[in-house]
Structure 1
């Protein structure tokens, strides 16, 4: 028996070794991506990219990789990170859009309605049409009085710290504000986080779920194994499932309480659309509100915290912003400016753009699938089915676009009327092409929810307080 098994084992090992060698030689020499530089391990396995995301430093690491290897870096056996401006505009174009990569299917899971992660362009377009109106400029303006109430509550809380010159965590209070804004615009009532001064541990759950999603997007085999084998037997071990579990139930409860009541909040407008035409249904509304709760507050809070950190590191810019606001917003009652006044402050708008450029909330490469006809990047043909994409952290630091000071926080670059159109073409903080965030700012003088809550908070705090960074400030970098 041993003599019969021994040759079989030898043959099995030989076949395995030969297959492995063939795979390595193909990826290194004959693959269509073989000529693109990148880390050695990335050429052979997606584990390298998954581990890079797991470490939590990917947003900085991917920038370093491009500085080492050039405008196009191979980050997987069939994946390229692109920092070339021409290729970037082709990948994220509006006409004949490149579909989202398979990595998004991990975050979508089994959700039939997922505006952020739906890969099919036709389905996404139909879903976006269903929910677009509540996020429009016209609808956003209706939310301003409620946001003013939240800001007033926040300012009274911060006044207590100011009177005692007490050191406090401004970033935490900014996130409380962002989450309460989401409650207000979604369900006509805040979640009470500002008034209570606590988040009930929700922020930690969001962060863990985001961290979990980051690496699982590139380890689909493990995610599928967990969902189909591990979870049914041993229970849930992945924080990502909070998106479909805890936060879905949280939003479902709010939607149920909101149903049947009048109001112009987002949920109310979606229910009105449902009454008029039958769509979106209750499940789709709940999924949309889950996205608001899960991602809408966190990404906005990251952006606002980054803006304040950069202003504190650059006190001359903080002083300039305060002077510009005082000049443009002199008619404001108290220190809460209205949206028109905020829009009229050129330096405030420049500060927001620059803060989002230098520290975009989205830290990963936004994967897209090359269409069947293929594409050309820096003179090299890329076959259909290849995964290509760009990180906002990479494209926002390309010196060809932003200049030799691309790594510096310099709002003045957005005041150059001759260049602002070009800069906006490569502004990627809200995504690009057909898949831009539904809460992004519009470029024709209009604004939507995300921009409105940012400009009002920043203006209010800058005009009311003098800030200093604490000597022992604990600064950590976390992105979505």
Structure 2
């Protein structure tokens, strides 16, 4: 009996110790994070510095970008947003984090955030291996050059013209005006363009006036994927969440992954000689080791083209939607832009990649749109290399996560005059040349919507061409206005952000041009 009692006491004691460890350890760790951690001198909210939980809770609710921007406004351009993470709104962070320097590579991507989901292959975006990324980009880059764009311009015009045609039909059937959701329609256009240039097959969104099923799945997955990535910080939660994925969602994901496989295979088997995204890799595909100078594994190709279709279309559509949303509420700026477009072109057909490239006010408007409404709101963290590095004049220990919130960087009061106001004139030559301009000292280099360095957006030439051509052709063809019902107005800053910006209808009233 005494032995049994002793054994029970020992077991009970061990259980008590285990419970105390479970309860006390987080408290001790939080105290250490606040007072003993190397990042503890940095400003920020104490609750966020103590635990990763507030950061992840904000992400899951779609409020992360807004919360970090609030912290930057309260504490400055460098803030601690988690026990091991620092967020930057200082323009020097772009070069310090993303640019290669003598003897140093750019900071590596944090696999917690960037790595693909379990069972998925890495691609151009989700690949965290530097050599793999360099190989994929090297193989793809000929399809994204200025020479390639010259051959792809006809495809861009084809779908922009179809968009304009659909809107003209809507105006005709609406007795002289029509209210359209430009977010939806620009998405149709950009997905069709990317489908054609990537696979030589349009998704036929504009033809059908509806989203393709695969595209709808992308939007539905954004919130869920954010939660899945957040769970990686807590392996037990990650395992439980993985078991809770609905079977129907898994089935749909597999079906649509197969759709990309089929589209890639048809394009690879094609004898077409046109210069598009996939033509340059047709003879450089292998199935095994990728660490050489020739060849990409087929699963990496599939992952890359799935990513390109999303990233290359979603961001451009978001920027164009933001542009019209701003212009319908800023009459003076809209009138200046419309005068420039209609005064520059004698006919609709004169609008080309070359003819819109140097339009001063249009470029100013688009730069200001990208400053205020960056299509990608947040750059997920990179990691400081093991030996530690300097960022914005401060030494950070190896393993520290560093991130940039585009909206915070682009609206930093120490970088811009009237940082939250829509002022295209800040981008005009006279703002730079005239010391008396209120925008003379703006740090325009802080605005990097396509990021910098070897991981910068490979498709930015195409994105600029699409934005300029679409905006010019729409404003050449239509007068635009805000709907009378103010409940339909969208305040961009109120949109939630997950891995991308939440989609909400943006209503714009179209009328045939008055002159």
TM-score scaled to structure 2, two decimals? 0.82
The answer for the alignment partner of 1:268 in structure 2 is: 279
Deviations 1:405-429 (CA, angstroms, capped at 9, x unpaired): 1111111111136379985532221
* 2:196 equivalent to 1:180: no
Task: Report 1:132-211 matches (<5 A).
Answer: 132-163=141-172, 164=174, 165-211=177-223
Counterparts of 1:305-320 in structure 2, within 5 Å, are 305-320=321-336
Please state if 1:368 is matched with 2:388. no
Deviation at 1:337, TM superposition (A): 1.0
2:453 to 414, 433, 454: 433
Preserved contact between residue 146 and residue 184 of structure 1 (Cα < 8 Å): yes
Partners of 2:248 and 2:146 in 1: how far apart?
A: 37
What does residue 131 of structure 1 align with? Answer: 140
What are the superposed Cα offsets for residues 279-304 of structure 1, whole Å, 9 maximum, x if unpaired? 23433332221112232211211111
Partner secondary structure for residue 100 of structure 2: coil
Partner secondary structure for residue 395 of structure 2: strand
Asked whether the 8 Å contact 2:91–2:445 carries over to 1, the reply is no
In terms of mean alpha carbon deviation, does 204-213 or 348-357 score higher? 204-213
Q: 1:396 aligns with which of 410, 419, 428?
A: 410
> Is this contact kept in 1: 2:416–2:441, CA < 8 A?
no
CA distance in 2 between counterparts of 1:341 and 1:94 reads 35
TM-score, normalised to structure 1's length? 0.88
Aligned residues: CA RMSD: 2.8
Aligned partner of 2:509 in structure 1 is: none
Structure 1 224/4 Cα, relative in aligned 2: closer, same or farther at 3 Å?
Answer: closer
Distance 1:144 1:87, change over 3 A: closer
Query: For the Cα contact (< 8 Å) 1:151–1:336, is it kept in 2?
Result: no
**Which residue number corresponds to residue 350 of structure 1?**
364
Structure 2 CA distance for aligned equivalents of residues 327 and 100 of structure 1: 47
Instruction: Report 1:293-332 matches (<5 A).
Output: 293-330=309-346, 332=347
Shift of 1:386: 0.6
- Mapped to 1, the partners of 2:19 and 2:284 lie a distance apart of 62
Residue 96 of structure 2, aligned match among 84, 87, 90: 90
- Deviation of 1:467 after TM superposition, in Å, equals 0.9
Conserved? CA contact 2:31–2:50, under 8 Å: no
Contact 2:228 2:241 (C-alpha < 8 Å) held by counterparts: no
Task: Please tell me whether Structure 1 or Structure 2 has the larger radius of gyration of its CA atoms.
Answer: 2
**Whole-Å Cα distance in 1 between the matches of residues 208 and 191 of structure 2?**
13
Q: Distance in 2 between matches of 1:461 and 1:205?
A: 29
What is the alpha-carbon distance in structure 2 between the residues aligned to residue 381 and residue 453 of structure 1? Answer: 41
Q: Report what 1:60 is aligned to.
A: 66
Quick check: 1:280 aligned with 2:296? yes
* Whole-angstrom distance in 2 between the partners of 1:378 and 1:134: 35
Q: Distance in 2 between matches of 1:395 and 1:156?
A: 38
Q: Which residue of 2 aligns with 1:443?
A: none
Distance in 1 separating the partners of 2:43 and 2:247: 36
Q: 1:212 to 1:83 in 2, by over 3 A?
A: same
For 1:112 and 1:311, the matched residues in 2 are separated by 41
From 129, 154, 157, the counterpart of 1:120: 129
The answer to whether the 8 Å contact 2:156/2:193 transfers is: yes
Distance 2:38 2:496 in 1: 35
Task: Judge conservation of contact 1:216–1:222 (CA < 8 Å) in 2.
Answer: no
Residue 42 (1) aligns with residue 42 (2): no
**Stretch deviating more after TM superposition (319-328 or 100-109):** 100-109
Aligned residues of 2:367 and 2:427 also touching (Cα < 8 A): yes
Q: Give the secondary-structure state (helix, strand or coil) at the position aligned to 1:263.
A: coil
Distance in 2 (CA, whole Å) between partners of 1:357 and 1:372 is 33
**CA shift digits 1:365-422 (9 cap, x unpaired):** 431111233234565432111111111111101122222x111111111113637998
Q: CA deviation at 1:469?
A: 1.2
Q: 1:79 aligns with which of 58, 82, 85?
A: 85
SS in 2 for 1:389: strand
Q: Decide whether aligned partners of structure 1 residues 104 and 4 sit closer, same or farther in structure 2, where only a CA change above 3 A counts.
A: closer
Q: How many residues align structurally?
A: 466
The answer to whether the 8 A contact 1:251-1:293 is kept is no
Instruction: Compare relative contact order (CA 8 Å, sep 6+) and give the higher one, 1 or 2.
Output: 2
What is the CA deviation profile of residues 309-333 of structure 1, one whole-angstrom value per residue up to 9, with x for unaligned ones? 1111112111111111123333x4x
Counterpart secondary structure, 1:401: coil
| Structure 2 residue aligned with 1:445 | none
**Per-residue deviation at 1:198?**
0.7
Deviations 1:428-456 (A, max 9, x none): 2112222111112xxxxxxx211111111
| Residue 416 in structure 1 maps to residue 436 in structure 2 | no
* Aligned-pair CA distance for 1:69: 1.9
**Helix, strand or coil: the match of 2:81?**
strand
Structure 2 unaligned runs (5+)? 287-292, 434-439, 501-515
3-state SS of paired residue (2:421):
coil
Q: What secondary structure is seen at the aligned counterpart in 2 of 1:257? A: helix
SS at match of 1:466: strand
